[in-house]
């Protein structure tokens, strides 16, 4: 997503300290955007991340560049969690825990809604990016859970993602408990037709 100047056609790896600063910057940006909106002062983001303004503008000349990077990092982290969970938990629990992580990602995007709905072409590639990361991650978890007979095998990853996003858009005063309740009901429906049944969403 972000690389240092190329040398002989190949990007050089970012130093460990530079990667740490970048991670801190993106995490601070997400937190500030969620609290104060996408028009929050860049200085506030820099201060929270412990970096200078020059660092922010060097990597992200435009505010939209920073917003895109924040969203892509969230998508990458969510997608990568699928493999971690699959290796650590039984297929049903891995799937359900990942759904929770995805719900948190959806919730974090609300602070960026103004920008995403602005029609700015800088954000036009984000839906395809999210799909390219989320669909394969969820598909693998669904296949594992179906093979283990925890859910039926005809669940489409893209359709399920859209359903979860829709259910997360409940009454403002009832979120996130409302969303978790609705998604729990959705997951119960996915078990219909499977040989085995499981308990509810993990605590």
| Contact between 169 and 121 (Cβ < 8 Å) | no
Which top CATH class is 1-61? Answer: mainly alpha
pLDDT tens for the chain, 203 residues long, are 323 334 444 444 556 777 888 989 999 998 888 888 888 899 999 999 999 999 999 999 999 999 999 999 999 999 999 999 999 999 999 999 999 999 988 887 776 777 777 788 988 999 999 999 999 999 999 999 999 999 999 999 999 999 998 888 766 545 567 888 888 888 888 888 776 444 444 44
Look at residue 113 in the predicted model and tell me its pLDDT: 75
Look at residue 36 in the predicted model and tell me its pLDDT: 83
Question: Which CATH number does the domain 67-203 belong to among 1.10.357.10, 1.10.10.1100, 3.30.980.10, 3.40.250.10?
Answer: 1.10.357.10
Instruction: Say which residues have a Cβ less than 8 Å from residue 69's Cβ, sequence separation at least 6.
Output: 1, 2, 26, 29, 59, 60
Domain ranges of the chain: 1-61, 67-203
Backbone angle region of 190, left / alpha / beta, with phi > 0 → left and psi within -120 to 50 → alpha: alpha
Look at residue 168 in the predicted model and tell me its pLDDT: 83
- Range 79-86 contact pairs with CB under 8 angstroms and sequence separation of 24 or more: 79/133, 79/134, 79/136, 79/137, 80/137, 81/137, 82/137, 82/138, 82/140, 82/141, 83/137, 83/140, 85/141, 86/140, 86/141, 86/144
Does the pTM of the predicted model rise above 0.85?
no
């Amino acid at each position: 997503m972000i690389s240092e100047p190329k040398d002989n056609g190949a990007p050089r790896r970012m130093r460990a300290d530079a990667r740490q600063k970048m991670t801190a910057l993106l995490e601070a940006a997400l937190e500030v955007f969620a609290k104060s909106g996408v028009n929050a002062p860049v200085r506030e983001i820099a201060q929270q991340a412990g970096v200078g303004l020059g660092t922010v503008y060097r990597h992200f000349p435009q505010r939209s560049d920073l917003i895109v990077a924040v969203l892509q990092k969230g998508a990458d982290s969510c997608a990568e969690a699928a493999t971690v969970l699959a290796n650590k938990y039984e297929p049903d629990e891995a799937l359900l825990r990942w759904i929770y992580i995805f719900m948190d990602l959806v919730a974090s995007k609300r602070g960026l809604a103004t920008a995403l709905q602005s029609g700015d072409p800088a954000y036009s590639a984000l839906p395809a990016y999210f799909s390219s990361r989320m669909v394969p991650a969820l598909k693998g978890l669904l296949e594992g859970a179906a093979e283990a007979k925890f859910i039926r095998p005809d669940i489409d990853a893209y359709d399920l993602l859209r359903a979860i996003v829709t259910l997360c858009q409940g009454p403002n005063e009832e979120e996130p408990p409302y969303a978790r309740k609705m998604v729990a009901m959705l997951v119960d429906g996915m078990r219909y037709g499977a040989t085995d049944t499981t308990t509810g969403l993990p605590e």
